[in-house]
Amino acid sequence: MKKYLILLMVALILAVPAASSAAPLGQGEDYVVQADDWLSKLSDKFLGDVLAYPAITYYTNQKNAGDDSYAKITSSDTIEVGWKIYIPTQEEAEAYFSDSTQSLGSGAIKIGALAPLSAPGSVSGGTAIKAAMEIALEEINAAGGVLGQPVELVFVDTEGLAERGTSAMRRLINQEGVVGVAGEYHSAVGLTAKEVAHEYGIPLILAETWNDTITSVQYPEVFRIAPISSEVADVDANFLQSIDAKYVVIMTENTGYGIPAAEQTAEQLAARGIESDTFFADIGTLDFAPVIERIKAGRAPDAIWVLLTGETSFNFQQQAAEAGIGPQNLVMICNQAAADSDAFWAAVPDGNLCLWRRIGLPQQLWTDETYAFAEKYREKTGKETPESFAMEGYDSLKVLAQAINEAGSTDPQAIITALENTTYKGALGTITFPVNSQNPPEVAGKDAKWWHQFPNPAITMVQFTEPGQKASDVAVVFPETYKTADLIRP
């Protein structure tokens, strides 16, 4: 008995240091970043999982919202020595991933879905994509599912953060066992998600990610139904040339979409003899007063082009209007998040005369499939007309499901081959991927960016002409092919 008591005392003594060094149950701990730290390393050390670092990012940013002594992490690839961050408990980390992963429906065949459902991502864009994909899921299962089995859609909130593209894809592939992935709004996420898709050989169909290199790297697994950023920049520059702009301010974001999009727009403008200056902000920026003052202190622009996405774009547009350089003062091309007119007018009450770029068929060219989807989307969301990114979300899931049926298998390579050969009629029109392994860019005489790219997304410029106007009632002002009214200049 004495021997056992001694052993018990020794065990308790040895256990004390370990217990005292751990955070109390239910309470995380603050941590100051040291040299050679990175979030995956800290995640492995404190949470036992190198892929759990998005939870550190999320909870630190939640703390920052109420206490600016905590760092605001805009990219999990970059943290700085001296930053104060928050390390969540195991329970908090598990709750984070549980909340951000939602299973819709039930069935034997799983398909993954990506979209930003919380800040700093475009929440309005993400919720539109999610609603559209839920409609697609209902239709797929009502028609018998895929390969005779119902589809289960596993949805992951990416928050618009690049690192979430990596962790979300790994979680979907390794833990959920999905046979393919569709969706997403932000190029920053698409750029990292494609790397994981390529690593595991899983087909990925991206909905609203514009960065050229997403397709130009020519990964067999990666397909896109959104337009290409450089092609959009060409249309943008043509519009500005048509209104005789001489000097343009470009307001963009420090992301994998915003930086190259601004560069491409500036290049296209310069080719037309139009001068420009670019101003940058982080995704999620709330206060634009400093950058607005810089714009006002410089040369008066003929137009402001807003390449900020989602709610961040709303912040800039309203603050610019209040400062006298908004859409009622000069030509302003707002981000396409303005297509969610309810959210736009709530956030930008001074946004009348804002222009925005609409992707997808003008209503006069809608197909039967477009009208059918629009009616279901109206019933589900109350919106008069679906946004382009909602149509893209819907079509991304439907075309993937069709390819699985055409492949007759859930084998990834068979699905990829079927996607290369598919012809799908959807909300955006007839989708094909004509530049592929049988017709590579060098044979097709196309730039590498056209690899696995839907080549015909219509691009138009539309304008709000009355305060509170519904997106379904806007006028098309460019190009001439689709024009329904003349531009109203401030």
How far is 39 from 85, CA to CA, in rounded Å? 10
pLDDT band at 322 (very low <50, low <70, confident <90, very high): very high
pLDDT digits 0-9 by tens, 220-232: 999 999 999 999 9
pLDDT digits 0-9 by tens, 362-392: 787 899 999 999 999 999 999 988 999 999 9
DSSP string, 340-373: SHHHHHHH-TT-TT-EEEEES--GGG--HHHHHH
Q: Are strands 84-87 and 331-334 parallel, antiparallel or unpaired?
A: unpaired
Helix (H) or strand (E) holding 4: helix 2-21
Portion of the chain with pLDDT greater than 70, in percent:
91
pLDDT band at 12 (very low <50, low <70, confident <90, very high): very low
Q: Is the pLDDT of residue 447 over 60?
A: yes
DSSP E strands in 23-136: the ranges are 29-32, 84-87, 101-104, 109-115
How far is 172 from 178, CA to CA, in rounded Å? 6
How far is 477 from 483, CA to CA, in rounded Å? 5
Which tokens is 150 given? 């119902």
- R_g of the chain computed on alpha carbons: 24
Beta bridge partners of 477: none
Q: What is the mean pLDDT of residues 88-93?
A: 89
Residue 383 C-beta-side C-alpha neighbours within 13 Å: 25
Q: Is the pLDDT of residue 27 over 80?
A: no
Q: Which domains does the chain have, with CATH numbers?
A: 28-98 (3.10.350), 99-228+368-456 (3.40.50.2300), 230-359+460-478 (3.40.50.2300)
pLDDT digits 0-9 by tens, 389-431: 999 999 999 999 999 999 998 999 999 999 999 999 999 999 9
Per-residue exposure over 204-232, b if at least 16 CB sit within 10 Å of its own CB, e if not = bbbbbbbbbebbbebbbbbbbbbbbbbbb
pLDDT digits 0-9 by tens, 30-58: 999 998 898 888 988 999 887 788 788 87
pLDDT digits 0-9 by tens, 464-489: 999 999 988 999 999 998 899 999 99
pLDDT digits 0-9 by tens, 108-137: 799 999 999 998 999 999 999 999 999 999
Q: What is the mean pLDDT of residues 434-444?
A: 97
pLDDT band at 75 (very low <50, low <70, confident <90, very high): low
pLDDT digits 0-9 by tens, 234-273: 999 999 999 999 999 999 999 989 999 999 999 999 999 9
Q: Is the pLDDT of residue 284 over 80?
A: yes
How far is 281 from 258, CA to CA, in rounded Å? 9
Angle of the 310-322 helix axis to the 289-297 helix axis, nearest 10 = 50
